[in-house]
A and B are shown apart, each in its own frame.
Chain A
Amino acid sequence: MNKMEETLIPKIGVITDVRIDTPDIKTFRVVTPDGKKAFDHRPGQCAMLSIPGVGEAMFSITSSPTNTEFMEFSIKKCGCVTEWLHQAEVGQQITIRGPYGNPFPVDDVFAGKNLLFIAGGVGLAPLRSVINYCRHYRDRYGDIDIVYGSRSKDDLLDYKEIIEEWSNDAGVNVHLTIDNPQEGWDGHVGFVPNYVKELGFDTNKTAVLCGPPIMIKFTLDGLTSIGFDKTQIYTTLELRMKCGVGKCGRCNVGSKYVCKDGPVFRCDELEELPDEY
């Protein structure tokens, strides 16, 4: 039988590196058994990872497409699949399929714009792909501001990369915050939405948001209160998914399927959807 391609059938991937980012987030590096990148992707797209017998789940690809050697996934321990992954060691094989969903419009809408990235907690994972893509093609974009907050200093994802790489780039301003005061932290303390308002950004920017739903909601309110239009703000959604290609029905909200019509949405597009995300 000449078998047609089947999206539900994954490839085998190998975990080649596990980085402990925070007490509950690890970043996994994945390649195919022959050491290659499993597939090409665009910033903001996702992949289905699975461990046979445990389950399959959708994760955003946190590495930039400009990385041609491997993919990375920053994964918070919070369910069956993620708990299993957190005890996995280097050399462990998993399955991988994708890429799924629409990417951030980095090559058209974002081109030439000042960019404002706002993330909370593990919400930095999908944005890291875009941030590093824009840093790679630095001359295509204007100023880049990154506001990132977490519960504590220890919960900041990619802290080393932020401090050693992002903060040192010309025209890239990083604004970190943590929820509560902590010994050894002399940076800003407070929630992301409030910090965004305090920073009072010029509205000549395109904003990209990702974080817990409550953070997205209040940050969106904050941005619009300082003059941003919803057409200037992008976010990426997360809903339960099984197929990744708009057939299994789980991530259906209104006439959209988050897996194939999203996960990236412009905030005015979200307004047209029923409030079920």
Chain B
Amino acid sequence: MRKCSLDSINKIFGKIAETNKLYLPVDGSDGVAVYTKWEEGKEWSNALNTVRSPKDFFFPQVENLMEFKTSGKNIELTDIREEAEDFVIFGVRACDVRSFDILDRVFLTDPVDSFYASRREHGVIVSVACSKPSETCFCQTFDNIDATNPLGDVTAWKTEDSVYFKANTEKGEAFMKKIESLTEECDDTAVAAEKDKIAAIMKKLPLKDLSADAFGGGKTDTFFNVPEWDELSATCLGCGTCTFVCPTCQCYDIKDFNTGNGVIRYRCWDSCMYSEFTKMAHGNNRLSQKERFRQRFMHKLVYYPENNEGIFGCVGCGRCLAKCPISMNIVKVMKKIGGKVNE
């Protein structure tokens, strides 16, 4: 384990930025933390988390896939893929680190999505333990997420005066090597104390007892037709905010854009909450918002686990709790149809 003083963290950022693009949560003028490319003068945000998840780094909201030029009846296709450059995302919370594993299971299974894979390969993830988990946090509901000890290539702990680092992977070792001269060897006493402090807060969180045990693969029949979906979805606006802020939502659209000098085929985020998501020439298999609403939650709580060894498609980041304009969210769904919070 190594550490540096919190005062000197910008030196570390500067050192990394010499060779790699470095992104970290920075408060914008509106006070909202956003992953921002670090440069001199940018300060690491104290916010618990960013409004948008860091899934953008691997699965950007919009990305160009290929280009076409047409002349007469002929088409010329250009593969515009470029090898991603190495980059570092610093300050990723435990929930968001876990979301990458969930996305991997979609994009890296055969056939591998080469756009995603290239970025994933070149991204170094420095996670940071959650000093101040908030009332919308419920990562404890899910396995393999530890806010006191997040995963990633490097794990960091931020205390009042210092930042502690531990490498978890080869990429992490390389990162630590790069900042070696700016950090010093230390024991894990302070980190152990920080972990205890975080664990104590976690025990007091309002959603600490939320359980997903009622859900999982093979439960389609149990939950698909329960009457509660009517009430839960009644006020859903179908705005898709939940899917856009969600670190694990990965549905996408592929569209063509005519540039006037050819066509760019691009991919962009899409949302199962939208009425046109499944609309096709012969009809639409999810005509009502209730059906679309149900699809989103069934996918995260039943379908995804069924295909992925019981792993849920939610990491408890709480973004949907904070951002849904009608205050509907996965926690309410879980409580309503999965039984009460275990007291």
Q: Establish whether residues A78 and B282, one from each chain, have CB atoms under 8 Å apart when the complex forms.
A: yes
The reply to whether A249 and B81 contact each other, CB–CB distance below 8 Å, is: no
| B278 pairs with A250, CB closer than 8 A | yes
- Knowing A9-B65, A54-B256, A255-B220 are in contact, say whether A249-B114 is a contact too (CB < 8 A): no
Contact A255-B302, Cβ < 8 Å, known A52-B263, A93-B75, A276-B291 = yes
With contacts defined as CB atoms under 8 Å apart, how many contacts are there between chain A and chain B in the complex? 128
Q: Is the CB of A239 within 8 A of B280?
A: yes
Whether B295 lies near A248 (C-beta < 8 A) is no
With A52-B265, A240-B280, A255-B303 in contact, do A249 and B68 touch (Cβ < 8 Å)?
Answer: no
Q: Which of A79, A89, A247, A277 contacts B285 (CB 8 A)?
A: A277
Tell me whether A249 and B117 are in contact in the complex, defined as CB-CB below 8 angstroms, given that A1-B83, A55-B256, A78-B282 are known contacts: no
Known: A52-B256, A89-B73, A247-B106. A6 touches B114 (CB 8 A): yes
Bound: A20/B299 CA distance, A: 42
A52 to B69, CA, bound (A): 8
Q: Is the CB of A240 within 8 A of B270?
A: no
A238 proximity list for chain B (CB < 8 A):
280, 282
A92 touches B73 (CB 8 A): yes
Q: How distant is A99 from chain B, measured CB to nearest CB, in Å?
A: 12
Q: Is the CB of B220 within 8 A of A274?
A: yes
Label chain B's interface by main secondary structure: mixed
Q: Are B114 and A53 in contact, with the CB atoms below 8 A?
A: no
Q: Main SS of the interface on chain A?
A: loop
Kindly report which residue of chain B lies nearest to residue A48, judged by CB atoms: B254
Question: Of A52, A94, A250, A254, which is in contact with the most chain B CB atoms at under 10 Å from its CB?
Answer: A52
Q: Is B100 an interface residue (CB 8 A)?
A: no
B115 within 8 A of partner (CB): yes
Other-chain contact of B111, A3, A245, A276 (Cβ < 8 Å): A245
Contact yes or no, A93 B73, CB < 8 A = yes
Q: Assess whether A95 is interfacial by the CB under 8 Å rule.
A: yes
Of A52, A213, A242, A272, the residue contacting B68 (CB under 8 A) is: A52
CB distance from A103 to the nearest CB of B (A): 17
Listed A/B pairs (6) with beta-carbon separation below 8 Å? A7-B111, A9-B79, A53-B68, A89-B73, A94-B75, A273-B220
